[in-house]
Structure 1
Amino acid sequence: MSWLNNAIAKVSPNWALKREAALQSFEAIRGYEAAKKSRTHKANKEARGANQAVFAAGKSLREQARWLDENHDLSIGILDRMEERVVGAQGIVVEPQPRDHDGNILDDFANELQRRFGNWSLKPDVTGRYSRPELERLVLRTALRDGEVFGQHVLGKVPKLLHPNEQGTPYSIEALEPDFIPYELNDVAKRIRQGLEVNGWGQVVNYHVLLDHPAEQKGFRYKTKPIAKTKMLHLGLFKRLHQLRGVSLFHGIMTRLADIKDYEESERVAARISAALAFVIKRGTLDMFNTSAVGTNAIQFGPGMTTELQPGEDIDTLESKRPNVHLVDFRNGQLKAAAAGTRGSYSSIARDYKGSYSSQRQELVEQDESNRIMQQWFCAGWSRPVFRNWLRMEQLNKVDPLALPAELDINTLYDAVYYGPTMPWIDPRKEAEGWEMMIAGNAATEAEWARARGRNPAEVKRQRKREVEYNRDNQMVTGNDPDPALGDNQRENSSQDDTASNKSRRAQQRANRAASERDDQ
């Protein structure tokens, strides 16, 4: 404190305390220019808590995002691209990894689990309308557009419900739009906030779910039922700590997307108007002709046409500067800003794939990390809980009982690898050569290579083994399987009918193999 404040404190401590706080605030403003509001800097602030901010804007953002998804092509394209990069056509791939007590993967049991999970994936939801990849894409789209999505684990026998899957697994998912958990449901005494009931630590213990969609209810709008957290999935986009409800992916670019849509519509209308040729007839001054005799002349246009004008008349066209030559550049600049706010890439959103191999690959590499983040978010919030609940209920399958191997380490029963679509290849040859070099240098595995192509490594190995065995049984020598078990004489005899190019290729393979053996020695 200063000497003045010390003196004031002896007379009025509260006054001295307020002066000291004001001085500290003033010093803070002097230290950071961004904290000071000026003519050119608005210094907008958000002092509300995370839940207060979402409560004030979340529902409006959700409804605006839905309107854009229904009416704006660019918004539709952003969500479509996120579906392709996060979930993909085959959905999130799940590879079970059960192990024995020595840490070895039980391949046969893992294949059996994958087969059963694939059968259940044909009809995983309570309606029986969607396959698992379809349901995952819808869930992802809802979570990105609306900010969140919910799902109920429907376990075991439930009155009036016959699980749609025909494999006997007593488990289905009830996917719910966020409207089913009302923002307006708040009860301080019961610790219910925005439809979520929490305990003293902020942990959600119950979700209060409407019996029907609020837009379809008649009379009992807020009649809800509590569902325990252990039976609910909640996949949301959270931007702040302590935030209970998610916000739309479009929250930061919504006004930009709306402006782009309005601007493009205005330019299209202007271009349509300018496409209709218009002109005027100039007639000089009023003293040159009788205004009462002025009429409208119908002029027919055609190749080589001529027309006669009255004395003092002249024809002038109405020139339009549409379409705007700067429209594309302006629109692309806005799309780059929109891509930055959605974890998307400009090229995929704008469908603009110009540039060299290096520049396109650089963009793919940078975008791949964003895709991995979104995939991890989706797997942790949706795919992993779904698979684990399915496996838990699959052990109760009475139609086709699941037998656990005696050597299984039960602690690894629920272990699995989850992955979505991988980074696409621009130049397959360069990508393949790069993977071969990493595998040769023990910096990568063949399984990683297979997953990088979106394939199941175990399935690739099985198919490859089957092909190699067939080729060798029929003495078919291929470029990637020269079959070292065959002798030189047999190999020469089997190639008598081959073309000269095939013989040369096999000779090169033998030379490479011999060189490799010399290097090993």
Structure 2
Amino acid sequence: MTTIKVPRQTIVDRVVGYFAPGLALSMLRDRTMLSAYTGQGGYKGGRRDRRATRNWHPGGGSADADLLPQLTDLRGRSRDLARNLPVATGAIQTNRTHVIGEGLVLNAQCNRKALGITEEQATAWNETTEAEWQLFCRSADFTSVQHFADLQAMLFGGVLESGDIFAIRRFRRDPGDAYGTKVQVIEADMVSNPNWMADTDTLVAGIEHTRQGVPVAVHVTDRHPGDRRRTAVSWRRVPMRYNDGRQIVVHLFDRLRPTQTRGIPYLAPVVEALKSLGDYTDAEVRAAVVSAMFTVFVKGAPSPETGPLASTDAGGTGREDEIELGAGAVVDLAEGEDIVTANPGRPNPQFDAFVTAFLRQIGVALELPFELLIKHFTASYSASRAALEMAYHSFRRRRSWFVRQFMEPVYGWFLEEAVLTGRIDAPGFFDDPAIRAAWMRATWTGPVRISLDPKKDAEADKIDVEQRVKTRQQVLTERTGGDFDQKVEQVRREEAALEGLSAASPSPAPMLPSPDDEEDDDA
């Protein structure tokens, strides 16, 4: 139970209380209520009269008010850290490797019960669709540079570095292409308000939306604003959807607040911490290099003829009388001069402990266990396995988000063209959203879970399958990846080939009796 502290009486309160007790009581009551409103409450973290929080007054802005004024700097600093700081680079690459890997693989699984088709028809349709999808992936990039699997990795990495990224549906059938549908990737900086105008009620950070907050269009520049050519840019308005509701623009970002318009870079919570860590590491490395040179300094009175030793600033002129540090250098001393050894005390014995503690905090914010963040497993088997399990859940969540936000819309674009051109037969695809969803049902396979002890994991999977807790398809998805039907067919072919090889192999010829054996028989 929280008690309200009654304010202490001042000299004025006593004087007023002597002549007008009622007024003094009213003043004291009002001051008590004001104190309860401004400083008292059930949570210590919300009080304003405590030493630790009295100067802490965070703003209560909206999602865009808290983000957009600093978004440009956050993007630039995030990209700079990703380019130049090993820890930041590793964190982003680790996510990209374990979420996307070599590219998410389509496993078409149309809902045959909802479509009223047989199992054989559904299997044949799924196989045809997967084969056509592979054709589409070869030419899906609007720039004709990357395979669709590489495009996935670039998009996901762009979201991590910049906070968001855009994919626009385009159509261009190049010679040799089976499909004309393309995916054009637009970097976050290229979406902004036309002519750099201020935000309005319906236009915020390049996103045009209705009064209800529904995005209706994006405004895209014809080139990156930071392009080296520094020429004038122009904007074009791209609607988010067709009139019938089909999606044109995919805005990839992780929305954390209801009114958030743009995405937050993955490194945003730890930008300052990573920068400080990088500066500290650089300083320690430079100090260690200087210490390794075994530097000595001349100590003595300057000669009237030569004066003191020459000094230089950062932009030195390279004079011949300047003294530079060097490994194993020997300097002749003049008469009366002595040397003093400089020992910076490097390498710093506390460096590893300090950096390790720092990286643990950074890993918490990035949802990367310390062992995986630095790719160094020194803990016990149980601790390492727990760290990998936690990381796997984080990777799986991000993969599911990427599938919902990007893979499913692009899969729909592909099926629309395939059905319209007759390459895939899907009756009712454009007639009923429920039928469309039944044809589009699919799963996406990504990188498998890391296994520290495959034997133990295999035994656990065997028990789960026997107890009907897991299906074999789930085990394949988590352990090795791939489709169950395809693996069964591959195993059948391999076993048939081995049986044929055994049947074709000649049986070993019987051994001829030796002369010694014949003599024994005669005896």
Aligned 8 A contact 1:199 1:205 in 2: yes
Partner of 2:449: 423
Partner of 2:392: 368
SS in 2 for 1:52: helix
Partner of 2:61: 48
Partner of 1:483: none
Q: Distance in 2 between matches of 1:20 and 1:413?
A: 67
Deviations 1:209-239 (A, max 9, x none): 2222222476643533232342100111322
Partner of 2:43: 32
Partner of 2:238: 226
Residue 461 to residue 108, structure 1, CA distance change in 2 (3 Å) = same
Q: Which of 96, 118, 121 lines up with 1:83 in the alignment? A: 96
Deviations 1:254-301 (A, max 9, x none): 001111111111111111111111235667xx8xx99889999x9xx9
Greater mean deviation of Cα atoms: 118-127 or 94-103: 94-103
Q: Which of 61, 67, 83 lines up with 2:80 in the alignment? A: 67
Partner of 1:131: 147
Q: Distance in 1 between matches of 2:260 and 2:308?
A: 72
Q: Which of 185, 201, 206 lines up with 1:195 in the alignment? A: 206
Q: Distance in 2 between matches of 1:100 and 1:108?
A: 11
Q: Distance in 1 between matches of 2:100 and 2:189?
A: 24
When the two chains are superposed, the root-mean-square deviation of aligned CA atoms in Å is 3.5
Q: Distance in 1 between matches of 2:175 and 2:112?
A: 30
SS in 2 for 1:197: strand
Post-superposition offset of 1:24: 6.0
SS in 1 for 2:407: helix
Partner of 1:403: 425
Q: Which of 109, 112, 115 lines up with 2:128 in the alignment? A: 112
Residue 414 to residue 31, structure 1, CA distance change in 2 (3 Å) = same
Aligned 8 A contact 1:74 1:349 in 2: yes
Q: Which of 223, 246, 254 lines up with 1:237 in the alignment? A: 254
Q: Distance in 2 between matches of 1:376 and 1:358?
A: 27
Residue 474 to residue 59, structure 1, CA distance change in 2 (3 Å) = same
Q: Distance in 1 between matches of 2:167 and 2:327?
A: 67
Deviations 1:33-66 (A, max 9, x none): 2123443334341311101112111111011111
Aligned 8 A contact 1:72 1:261 in 2: yes
SS in 1 for 2:269: coil
- Which residue type is aligned with residue 274 of structure 1? S
Post-superposition offset of 1:19: 8.8
**Residue-pair matches, total:** 444
Deviations 1:300-343 (A, max 9, x none): x999x9x9997x87654222201111111111211111111112
- Which residue type is aligned with residue 238 of structure 2? P
Aligned 8 A contact 1:126 1:164 in 2: no
Q: Distance in 1 between matches of 2:269 and 2:308?
A: 57
What's the TM-score, normalizing by structure 2?
A: 0.76
Q: Distance in 1 between matches of 2:203 and 2:446?
A: 36
Q: Distance in 2 between matches of 1:270 and 1:241?
A: 48
Deviations 1:388-417 (A, max 9, x none): 11111111236xx223489x9765211101
Aligned 8 A contact 1:185 1:195 in 2: no
Partner of 1:320: 344
Deviations 1:414-468 (A, max 9, x none): 1101232121111111111111111122111111111112222222122111112
Aligned 8 A contact 2:293 2:327 in 1: no
- Which residue type is aligned with residue 178 of structure 1? A
Alignment of 1:267-346 (within 5 A): 267-280=284-297, 316-346=340-370
Residue 74 to residue 302, structure 1, CA distance change in 2 (3 Å) = closer
Post-superposition offset of 1:107: 1.3
Deviations 1:63-119 (A, max 9, x none): 111111222222111111111011002x11221111334576511210111111012
Q: Percent identity?
A: 19
Q: Distance in 1 between matches of 2:32 and 2:207?
A: 42
Partner of 2:220: 209
Residue 122 to residue 321, structure 1, CA distance change in 2 (3 Å) = same
Q: Distance in 1 between matches of 2:370 and 2:399?
A: 19
Q: Distance in 2 between matches of 1:188 and 1:21?
A: 41
Q: Distance in 2 between matches of 1:119 and 1:302?
A: 60
SS in 2 for 1:64: helix
Residue 26 to residue 293, structure 1, CA distance change in 2 (3 Å) = closer
Post-superposition offset of 1:130: 0.6
Q: Distance in 1 between matches of 2:417 and 2:327?
A: 79
Partner of 1:159: none
Aligned 8 A contact 1:332 1:350 in 2: no
Q: Which of 174, 177, 180 lines up with 1:170 in the alignment? A: 180
Q: Distance in 2 between matches of 1:495 and 1:437?
A: 40
Aligned 8 A contact 1:211 1:225 in 2: no
Q: Distance in 2 between matches of 1:308 and 1:22?
A: 77
- Which residue type is aligned with residue 424 of structure 2? L
SS in 2 for 1:434: helix
Q: Distance in 2 between matches of 1:277 and 1:411?
A: 72
Partner of 2:439: 413
Residue 242 to residue 405, structure 1, CA distance change in 2 (3 Å) = closer
Gaps of 5+ in 1: 1-17, 156-161, 478-492, 498-521
Partner of 2:486: 459
SS in 2 for 1:40: coil
Residue 167 to residue 463, structure 1, CA distance change in 2 (3 Å) = farther
Residue 31 to residue 295, structure 1, CA distance change in 2 (3 Å) = closer
Q: Distance in 2 between matches of 1:292 and 1:331?
A: 50
- Which residue type is aligned with residue 322 of structure 1? R
SS in 1 for 2:225: coil
SS in 1 for 2:420: coil
Residue 270 to residue 396, structure 1, CA distance change in 2 (3 Å) = same
Greater mean deviation of Cα atoms: 44-53 or 218-227: 218-227
